[in-house]
Structure 1
């Protein structure tokens, strides 16, 4: 009989060595055991790139489209290619574990992390999760599906209890995790920050052991989110293997003591250690234990893939009079308007942030692809949430004290007024806390009102010409920035004349009233854009043959750690678009957001393209679609409400954002399109919506039996023909409706889809197979999946509101499958 090498290792380990495996060594690596040749393993964020071991300004890496943009492709094959590429990127950073994908559902429209997630629909989200995981793990890199479970908002996420009815939990929120385990064989799972029904996710034995491991058969590693470990004994008993980051806080000596005192069995520790070792084995760390230096290889194949992903994720929301694609008329005068035309918005904020190899701006890509046109650019309106940082020379002096006392231990020249100290303290700092003084000169380029601001994880204050102007020092408290470890923004405004110089001194201390795990400083300075800027943009549009307005949000609004407070475009963007459209009827709007926004000017513009945050090839992907080099291949994965007051849980504080530490999912199954259809609410754009540059014809459903037995699978055929004059992409969406049921069910639910590319005049027969789970609901009384005998309608459409063909099948007897 062959002896398992992992069991042999465990037999040789002391309790202390086994315990050491259950916490990180530092921010990104696990603990090695040199005595037994047990290696360390490096992990890396995140869903749209492999950042590596330096949170800010480390070696550059490829930046892929964000989660909602990947999902908007409705293309699992392409997403699997993206996953494989991200696995390769992780290896370039010396990482064997990628902390991705994020598959929490878009329960509300306000979640600040909606951009990072796939969809409001569990089937779509799970299909893409399976593809993503398969891609990553094809490279020998572990995917880490997250956040398990119930992290559907950022408000008080570290403590909030998501109180989710069992049926909704099973049918909606757990489905992407379940399918990633059963179908993709995911190697790692990350627990969420929040509590579920009062128990922290990392301590939740029913979820981690009973559901994830025993019901689904998961044999991989479960890790905490960063700083999300709360209980030494409960987390190990729950089956959570790895506490991150290190060094140990709730484990280490505390865990050894718990075993020695009999509060926890040594077997429970061994079980967790076994799973850590198994992960090392799966990712090849025993065979190749060296963690190599990080590389910043800019791979041409990844460039091309990111560009294709960006275009396939672009959703054409509106296109009257065939405004798009644009004709590249020689000599055309084109007014590009909006900050995002020149400053590419490539990703959201938070742990998904990477230092991209490069950023292609739309203005540069359009000029390259349409050299015969004459382009102008006007900013028009601001889009920021916080006063923008400066990219200018800054001198930092560091002190080995919390109060700028003593000698300067290091002097550093940087080119940005935002600095983060997460993994390392500045050189020369030996104590627990440090302080810094930064100096720079700021010259007003134009006369106007200027804002200066501070945000800091730590205390900070800024002096302008020797006078205290911005105070985030006295009365500092945690707010919603820097993963909730930073204070809220403090802003100072003053009028300046063109050419006026300001000498700015910024002081920072890492000492805070309560301990925080990271240190950061952000100083902003900016002239507030106003009426003259909008007027200049309107005039430019009036003088042009065509106006293209780039509008939306940025990584400050679509950001980890804080939710949005409105669906309106920020600053004066709505006013800008309305006035530009009035000045030039040929106005195209390119939106870049990570979730829905309201569009009060929609009737006034002929074309709107949603481009999301498409990664480093941003400008090229958008230009490809605008100019017709690529099809707008995207379809919406989240419903856009007509009014924010129509959205799920709006005006119900207990349901969102939560009260007294609890957020109740009282809507149950009825989130997303299920909510709008149940209530008969008109939407701005329905789930699945997206236009093409060509036309398609859909035939009746074929191949269906009139009746089927419990346990059968059904394959439905949908004929599709491209009746237009150019190649295009179609997405066939298959919905199921239970005509009569003993429990409440949504009017229709997505249970299958297919994306296809057809040349002009080409036909295709789409085949979609439905298993019994497609017809079933979760019966929480029987703890089983149940499909009741009766009639089901199968509906093929191009969105949830636009059904092109339907047919009815009948299930002859009940089907029951225990969970």
Structure 2
């Protein structure tokens, strides 16, 4: 291969592919976004339809490694349907803060749980010949200034918390891909971090896959190549191509290092079958019955029953008031690069109608929970101009079905430069009610909205950077206009591109909404009063839980707390169904009969929720993240802004290893709901703890067994959790840490035996001075139970000598 040919496959050709090398008959390598589906090569909005699986935190709630492996295999079929070879997944960053906008996409606050689930996911995916790309390596635990901020993390916290899932992915699952994060780690961009990509990943862990940049996450030529970044994405290259050829010719980059990167890419291409894949690229929408069933089953297993005063499962008769902003809107996924065009969306209302019949149900919205005004939908004409002034004759005229767009790659049928164009979008809006309406626009670019020729919202004249479109967009600008019900109004949106900060994209979203007032809550309370049971289905949506924007608090948005209080006041059988990507404060928790955390369960959302509510399925979920009473209790909450959300380009992980339940244990804080918690429709008792520590001294292994009995009247599942605590460590250590778990399904009255295995690393901490793992002499306490706060069985094991373990 010539130098130019070698360099060509070290960066993308376009947004989703690595170029072919025709002289050697090497085919293109294609990738697609994940992790809760395979979107394919289209935009984040629209495109070929795909299966939408439960989001990461929902899968984390299942605590079911075989299920994750099954989902990984199903996702491989989805990737193949999009003509791709690699899935950009799984996402395994840790829930450091409850306000991280991307927590929905990640599994847990706990590194061990995250690692076990990621291994299952990767094994399932790669067993079908599709490459995994575990991300984001490392320190991307918030979305604020994420493309430039430096995560200041000590080595011990890195080794014991943040690197654990990646280490397991490499050593246990053999992942074929790793994606570097956008952020800096202790001052250096992860995409050019010699210690991270060289010392840790390749030298210590013996990794032989590729490292690719996050999109536009490369910032240099020689530095990234030398450090270990194999692939710059997307293309065309910004830091490689001719720049890398010139660097090699100038002696800045050793040709032997280029060869290492090329061999890694060729090895990957061989693994995923793209070396000799010369089929024309085609994408199809495969809506498989078996995938539908898997998503529905996984969505139900992810649901966590947080409270139940006997009202669930729902009885076979009686009137049910279905209330709330998420009742008739299917909230199936979070926002950002994980979003896709789902085959369909089942709302909770649709699921309940199918399960119970519409005759038993009544409905009231009660309030709204949108972050932005509801996106306008309908038939829109789009005129594209090959300039940024809407000047002259359009070079292309297209159509779209909603007043939002995310333009990347091919724009305007390829007739405009995707970073230098303007567009006029024209459609109609017919309001259902008369009165004041709010018109909102936010954009990565300049945008204005006109209603019947009058400028209503202006995100052009005084555009300023906000928290939308991956921090490339403005905040929403909202204007108001009085509209008449039934009358059709012309809506025109004018858009032009602008210089970007990091990510080269153009996007906008425009919505029109009619605000709901006191009368809507009163109507909901009236419906609840006249029903036997009130189901209040509330939470957030993908506008709040999204890549590129952290939450400002964990209060329910809008007037949802007022809604719950009003309904609970008139109906003692009030059941709250929460759909969020993480915990919320619950000031009404004492006045409701039941709470079900349903997350974002994918396209079968309403059916999965209805299955759990009606008892067709067991609520199989257990919390993968501690739910605090208030946001201020969270370990990342601090009066020091450098700790969170960051200050002057740095975010300091001051809490070190004391993340999640470790933090609450350390301070003696009682959370609203502890890590690992979840109720069942049956009950379980644990007994007969037996510990075999005969090999603890020689090789660090301990085997723990116990009996689990289903003491209730229904079949159900329990997650047996085993925690380890060092009774007298020379270094500060958590009171306990999850080191093993197993999910067991039992019939009524059935007893099962669970065996949990601990290895030497289960007892070790990382020594920053020695740069190795240490198991100290002394006693360790083993605690087994059903959550981090419910550990009825315990035992102690002891070592006479200390031992050192390699990295």
- CA-CA distance at 1:282 after TM superposition: 0.5
Aligned partners of 2:426, 2:17: CA distance in 1, in Å?
35
SS of the residue corresponding to residue 796 of structure 2 reads: strand
Question: For residues 165 and 684 of structure 1, what CA distance do their matches in structure 2 show?
Answer: 30
Alpha-carbon distance, 1:496 to partner: 3.5
Match of 1:796?
784
Change beyond 3 A, Cα 1:373–1:734? farther
Aligned partners of 2:506, 2:40: CA distance in 1, in Å?
A: 19
C-alpha distance in 1, partners of 2:253/2:522? 69
Contact 2:694–2:702 (CA under 8 A) maintained in structure 1:
no
In the other structure, the counterpart of 1:582 is 569
Q: Is the contact between residue 400 and residue 428 of structure 1 (CA under 8 Å) also seen in structure 2?
A: no
> TM-score if structure 1 supplies the norm length?
0.97
Say whether the 8 Å CA contact 1:44–1:98 is kept in structure 2. Answer: yes
Q: Distance in 2 between matches of 1:513 and 1:246?
A: 16
Matched residue, 2:493: 506
Which deviates further from its counterpart, 174-183 or 261-270?
261-270
Secondary structure (helix, strand or coil) at the match of 2:78 reads helix
Structure 1 contact 112–558 (Cα < 8 Å) conserved:
yes
Equivalence for 1:567: 554
Deviation at residue 497 of structure 1 after TM alignment:
4.2
1:364 matched to 2:333? The reply is: no
How much does 1:441 deviate? 2.4
**Does the 8 Å contact 2:27/2:276 carry over to 1?**
no
Counterpart residue number, 1:201:
190
Whether 1:407 aligns to 2:407 is no
* Cα distance in 2, alignment partners of residues 90 and 629 from structure 1: 31
The structural deviation recorded for 1:337 is 0.5
Q: Distance in 1 between matches of 2:503 and 2:221?
A: 20
Runs of 4+ in 1 over 3 A off after TM superposition: 494-502, 511-516
Cα contact 1:551–1:589 (8 A) shared by 2:
yes
| Structure 2 match to 1:216 | 205
Instruction: Measure the CA separation in 2 of the matches of 1:81 and 1:404.
Output: 50
Asked if 1:557 is matched to 2:547, the reply is no
Distance 1:200 1:806, change over 3 A: same
1:43-192 map, 5 Å: 43-55=31-43, 56-192=45-181
Per the alignment, residue 459 of structure 2 pairs with 472
1:345 deviates by 0.5
Out of 759, 774, 782, the residue aligned to residue 747 of structure 2 is: 759
What's 1:681 paired with? 669
Indicate the SS of the match to 1:493. Answer: strand
Q: 1:416 to 1:228 in 2, by over 3 A?
A: same
Contact 2:375 2:512 in 1 (8 A): yes
Distance (Å, rounded) in 2 between the aligned partners of 1:216 and 1:732 = 30
2: CA distance, partners of 1:620 / 1:291: 37
* Corresponding position of 2:587: 600
Query: In the alignment, which residue of structure 2 is the partner of 1:609?
Result: 596
Assess, with a 3 A threshold, how the Cα gap between structure 1 residues 792 and 421 changes in structure 2: closer, same or farther: same
Deviations 1:108-162 (A, max 9, x none): 1110000000000000000001001001001100000000000000000000000
CA contact (8 A) 1:710 1:813 kept: no
The whole-number CA distance in structure 2 between the counterparts of 1:814 and 1:643 is 41
Would you say the 8 A contact 2:576–2:594 is kept in 1?
Answer: yes
Quick check: 2:26–2:276 contact (8 Å CA) kept in 1?
no
Partner of 2:285: 296
User: Which residue of structure 2 aligns with residue 387 of structure 1?
Assistant: 373
CA deviation after TM superposition for structure 1 residue 668, in Å: 0.5
Is 2:517 aligned against 1:530? yes
1:429 aligns with 415
Contact 2:96 2:636 in 1 (8 A): no
2:390 corresponds to 1:398: no
Q: Paired residues, what number? A: 804
CA distance in 2, matches of 1:811, 1:84: 42
Change (3 A) 1:372 1:561: closer
SS at 1:258's partner residue?
A: helix
Give the equivalent residue in structure 2 for 1:5.
none
Query: Is the contact between residue 700 and residue 806 of structure 1 (CA under 8 Å) also seen in structure 2?
Result: no
Distance 1:420 1:659 in 2: 30
Q: Distance in 2 between matches of 1:707 and 1:425?
A: 64
Compared CA separation, residues 463 and 373, structure 1 to 2 (3 A): closer
Distance, in Å, in 1 between the alignment partners of 2:746 and 2:668 is 34
Question: SS of 2:677's equivalent?
Answer: coil
Task: Kindly report which structure 2 residues correspond to 1:232-311, keeping only aligned pairs within 5 A, or say none.
Answer: 232-290=221-279, 292-311=281-300
CA-CA distance at 1:705 after TM superposition: 3.2
Superposed displacement of residue 476, structure 1: 2.1
User: Would you say the 8 A contact 1:453–1:491 is kept in 2?
Assistant: yes
CA distance in 2 between partners of 1:265 and 1:791 (Å) = 52
Of stretches 686-695 and 280-289 in structure 1, the one that deviates more from structure 2 is: 280-289
Closer/same/farther in 2, CA of residues 514 and 221 from structure 1, 3 Å limit: closer
Report the CA distance between 1:75 and its aligned residue: 0.3
Residue 707 (structure 1) shift: 7.8
Structure 1 distance, partners of 2:424, 2:97, is 42
- Which position in structure 2 is the counterpart of 1:633? 620
| Structure 2 counterpart SS, 1:415 | strand
The answer to whether the 8 Å contact 1:171/1:777 transfers is yes
Select the residue among 677, 682, 690 that pairs with 2:678: 690
* Alignment partners' CA distance in 1, 2:794 and 2:142: 36
Secondary structure of residue in 2 paired with 1:158: coil
Rounded Cα–Cα distance in structure 2 between residues aligned with 1:618 and 1:430: 39
The range that moved more, 762-771 or 458-467, is 458-467
| Aligned-partner Cα distance in 1 for 2:396–2:411 | 11
Maintained 8 Å contact 2:140/2:151: yes
Runs of 5+ consecutive residues of structure 2 not aligned to the other structure? none
Matched, 1:746 2:707: no
5+ long unaligned stretches in structure 1: 1-12
1:715 lines up with 2:703 in the alignment: yes
Give, in whole Å, the separation in 1 of the partners of 2:546 and 2:313: 32
Greater CA drift, 571-580 or 53-62: 53-62
Look up the SS of the partner of 2:641 in the other structure.
coil
Whether 1:482 aligns to 2:469 is: yes
> Of the candidates 701, 708, 711, which is equivalent to residue 689 of structure 2?
701
Give the match's secondary structure for 1:176: helix
The RMSD of aligned alpha carbons is: 1.3
- Please give the per-residue CA displacement for 1:609-665, whole angstroms capped at 9, x wherever unaligned: 000000011011000000000000000000011111111131321101111101111
Local SS of the residue matching 1:249: coil
**Equivalent residue, structure 2, for 1:21:** 9
Distance 1:212 1:707 in 2: 30
Cα distance in 2, alignment partners of residues 449 and 717 from structure 1? 65
How far has the Cα of 1:504 moved from its partner?
Answer: 2.0
